Structure 1
Amino acid sequence: RHTPKLSSPIRKTLSHQFLCAICLDVFTDPVSTPCGHNFCKNCITEPVDADVPFQCPTCMKMFYPKPELQVNTLISEMVDTFRRAEQRPARQEEVLPGLGLKPLPLLLCVVFLSLLLDCMKFNHPLEEMSKGKKGVKMEAEIQQTIEEMRLKIEELKRSVELGKEDADREMTDGARVFAALKEYVEKGEAKLTEAIREKQRQTELQAEGFIRKMEQDIRELKKRKTEVELLSVLQLEETAEMKEKLPKMLAMAKLRRAQSYAVDVTLDPDTANAYLFLSDDEKQVHDTYREKALPYNSERFFYSAAVLGKQSFSSGRFYFEVQVEGKGEWTLGVARESINRREDITPRPAAGFWTVGLSNGNKYKAGPDVALSLQSAPKKVGVFVDYEDGLVSFYDVDTAALIYSFTGCSFTEKLYPYFSPGLENDGWNSAPLIITPVN
């Protein structure tokens, strides 16, 4: 039996990557320039005056003095492997000493190389996409690249399945051989089987890593595609209808970007006030009129009807959404780790709180001092934090409208999501705050 050959498109792509740009033939003793391009050693190292600057034939970058070029052993080995694969109708098979077993196919290595080379093709700056027809063309190229990458992911998955079948056959062959030598090498069978399984596990892990990377690249390309579509809209002739839609489109684009940093947040019962009730999944909280008998905990809010999230953040960006529909009072935001939890403290930036909230059913505020005028009552509020930029922004998720932003904040310690459902008030404010998934 033989391992199937590589498909023609992959073979064609690999042969193109192994061609010298000077002699247009497969590399012989390939060397690499400081700028990262590869050529045959004889093609690029012809006698040149030492006082004359060296210029890369591909990118035309100048180097002075002329660099000393060494043979790139990695590419040289890959070229040798490729040549052997081209010359033989079936994969090269070697016999393990004394056992008659064959190693796993090198098919995945070749496929991985093809995927890496294809991923490096796409490097268009976003500015070029905003130039009329170029933007439309780039949008098509992005979509085509996404489809090609999806096809390669499927091919990679198929290769993994073939590898599994090969592994099963190798283990079967190994068991058959060791059965005849059982009294001498009884432990050898287990070792060989484990070695084969370990090799297959490593192959699967590598494949999974490449698949995750490709899927992440697809998500990034989709984001770029959305930006290209938005830029294309900006180039259209301004009309009364477009002037009305454009602000909403820009607001939605900002919200979508914030939502790309969504994290999974749950409530921390060790910080919850004794009068608060938390759901079993730790995603909902509301006030009750009964105090629960809870053990002393220095992290618990003693006077304030509040609770923190379990997750903390000390760098980067994060985003979460909370349903506030049906409530007459609530407060949301983030708080630093060292806030005072034993006294009745009004949430404000100076005390380590960055929040927005509702009181009396119709009064919206940022902190205790900034009154907000909203066009509509939000049903779901999104909270976005950029730790390094010192930014905390709140969004009406349904309308994509920005509610308020704290800017120029100086964060020096861990930040926690902050939730206060407000007092129950005889059922008037009994609806819970609900942490919802980000769509």
Structure 2
Amino acid sequence: MATASSLLSEEKFLCSVCLDVFTDPVTTPCGHNFCSACIHKYWDSSDMCQCPLCKREFSSRPELQVNTFISELAADYKTLVQAKASPPGTQLPETADVPCDICSEKKVNAVKSCLMCLASFCEVHLEPHRRVAGLKSHTLLDPVKNLDDRMCKTHSKITELYCRTDQACICVMCIKTDHKGHNVVPLEEEYEAVMARKDETVANIQRMIQSRSEKIAEIENSVDVSQKEAEKEKEASVQVFTDLIRSIQRSQAELVEVIEERYRATKQKAEGFLTQLKMEVAELESRSNQLEQLSQSEDHHHFLQSFPTLCSPLDKDWSNISVQSDLSFEGVRGAVTLLKQRVNEIMQKLPEIKMKRMRDHAVDLTLDPDTAYCSLVISEDGKQVIDGDTKQSVPYNPKRFDTCPEVLAKEGFTTGKFYYEVQVKGKTAWVIGVVRESIDRKTNIPLAVENGYWTIELNEGIYIYACASPRVEITLKKKLQKVGIFLAYEDGVVSFYDVNSKSHIYSFTGCHFTEKLYPYFCLQVNENGKNSAPLIITPVPQTH
């Protein structure tokens, strides 16, 4: 097994952009880590959004969150490096290059600091402390900066005691005031007690380093395995679709050939009939001309002999003869249509595909101040709304909500499909969805489908409900941060999604919409600031 020191090597914690130990590390979709500021600066300076390491391009700038696990490991690594750089008995960085407080012209570095004098001395000015009896009792230590920090800010005395109750350094006067009755010991005693536990603490730190190092190896191995599985699955999926496309193309070519063959046979048969019919027409036209000529002749004998032959019917009966083409392939088209629908249904079950297809119908919304309850405050861009918790004087408007902190979007929909996203982070209660244009805005009515509301709500920061009849309680694995709302007007569907996890929350189906629908936002009661966070209409990432 690899040791902690080998697993916790420096290169594992270096940002490839700034080449320093991670600060607020974030992880890109391709699995690489960078400082948050570095990756955003890198993307800001480029026309393309790609990973600096693997050069994978992203269709839109991903939303990145700080990777707390890597952040903690980076912090542990910094601590370990500092500990190795300052072994016992060596001078800590803050004790180096402390100037002598007595030197008046050229400052010489101090060799000792005195806790009683609250000053640092060079070798020359330290001499009285080594010689004068009254100064020999002073506590000397290696040079320390900011000796004023050793003074009690309340009583201006040296903090030579330690309060174990409050875990703070205090002076003798503090015992009589803020730390009365507390467990107080001399600093030296607490120092010795802590030093006695130092080895155990160091051992615990090393165990945590070992544990985290092993976890790093485990995660890195998981990433490697996942990459191999992803490549294998991608290759297999591409092969399956390639085979399907080839099969469909081959079947298409064969079907076209069959259609053309049937058409050629039909055409050939029809041309044969046409040739016979044209010949018979020519024969009949000839007989007609002969009869006309005979009728002008005075040779009655010849007329009577020729007439029966010219009047005799032709042998072929064309009344039951027709040309019918068998060119219908509805069965084949139906089968292909069903195959397309089935593949589409399976693809729709993948949350990333579902979210991408919904985002293709994204709309740009703005909040309508004419509908806003009197205590609501809307941002200048019309994308955010908060409850100011104070009723304002607003003009009367028949569209305005008069009983609850509600507001609608300016945009309404009467046909098609629409999608938008709302940030609900930090709120303990809210209601969002779509409503009929004709809802009652002047009285407090139940939020229900029969009243024109297709909404979901959060109560007490925990319980999610769909405002159906009766209400449906929804269980979620994670707390909602951002909600996606999808409306398919003709299909009668209103669906809600957790944007971060790309998971389905709830859908109203089988609805019959007859009038314009508007996006609806209710901030619920402010709760003395507990529910003061805004509702925000956020930009929907572009899909390609």
TM range (shorter): 0.3 to 0.5
Structure number, greater radius of gyration: 2
Higher relative contact order (CA 8 A, sep 6+): 1
TM-score w.r.t. structure 2 length? 0.38
